[in-house]
Every structure is written in C-alpha cells, then in structure tokens.
A and B are shown apart, each in its own frame.
Chain A
C-alpha cells in the first residue's frame, strides 16, 4: 500500500494566484481529513469528509479556501486567491471507519506564498 499520497510536495506561488493541493487517500478508507500546520498555530483541522460528503468545514479559515472530494480516491484543497499568511504545510489524512482506527497521514505539501 502506497499510503496517503499528496501532491505537490512543495509549492511556491505568488500572492493572488490560485493554488490546488491534491490528495489520494488509502484505497477503501472512507474518511478524509485536511489539516494545516504552522509554527504559530500548530496542527489545525480544516475540513473532513465521510463517504465523499463534507461533514465539518468549520476549520476552513475563510471563503478563499474550498475543498472537494469528487470520488473516493481523490480530494482537492483550493486556495483562491492565495495570500502570504496561507504559507504552511498542508496534510491530508484518511481512515477506514468512524470510531477506533487511527488516521494515516500523507507526507504533506509545503506551500509558500510570496
């Protein structure tokens, strides 16, 4: 199993540009989570999906952020327009069931907005 796959690993973009982060969860996992990590705020949950349906997006910082999960094997997190304060490492995680299973995290996307 290749684990949770995120792309790109690194992204550098100019302020105002659109950024799209991608995630492929582990096959068969039915929950998917997007987290953001910064030195100041630590790991923050942005949004999570269950069976491709967004369940809780209360952590999404503002309307510039949007996330989709068109099918069970793919999710995107989009920032439009991007701002320097969006610079962070964005992690995607998936899990098999609601309940006791631990999450499996991807390696993250390091986003730098200049």
Chain B
C-alpha cells in the first residue's frame, strides 16, 4: 500500500525557517517524481515545487522561488522542503504528492502557521 506521511509543520515567526519531510513507503520511491502542494486555510490547491526521480529537474512556483528548496534522499525514501524567509501568506497545509503526471497519491498534510 502506498503511503506518504508528512511531518515537520508547526508555528514559526515571519522570517523564520522550517523543514518539512515526507516519508514514502509501498512503492519504489526512486522511480517517481514528487511534489509539494499547499492549501491555505479555506482556499484552493497551489502547486509549490517538484523534483524528478534523480533530482535532475527541480521546479518552483514563483511565489516560493528563492526561499524554498526541495530535495530528496532516495536511500531513505524521503522528500524534503526547506522553507526559509517564511511569510504570513505561506500559512497552509502542505501535502506531498506522488507524480504520475496527475497526482495519484497524497499524504495527509502538515500544517505550517507563520505568525508572530
């Protein structure tokens, strides 16, 4: 069974940093591109970042470019999102999602709250 479990969310002050993790199981992690998608409270879905299976290709939404860094460790079946210079508008539930073109598997999400 495919499982994606996010962790690392929490309350952080504006300008602060946070690192999210996504632990994958039930599939060959190293064969799939992975993504981070976020959802602000009461809002819709926003793609944040993608990373290819071997980390050769990395993409970011304009809203996070230069502040967030996506990475992965295929030996540990894990996906990461380093978030720096956090702003109030980064407050959201962050989901990791497996890429099959569309996103056929999602984690349960981790809440990031940016507030003073």
Are these two chains actual partners, yes or no? no
Q: B residues bordering A, Cβ < 8 Å?
A: none
Q: A residues bordering B, Cβ < 8 Å?
A: none
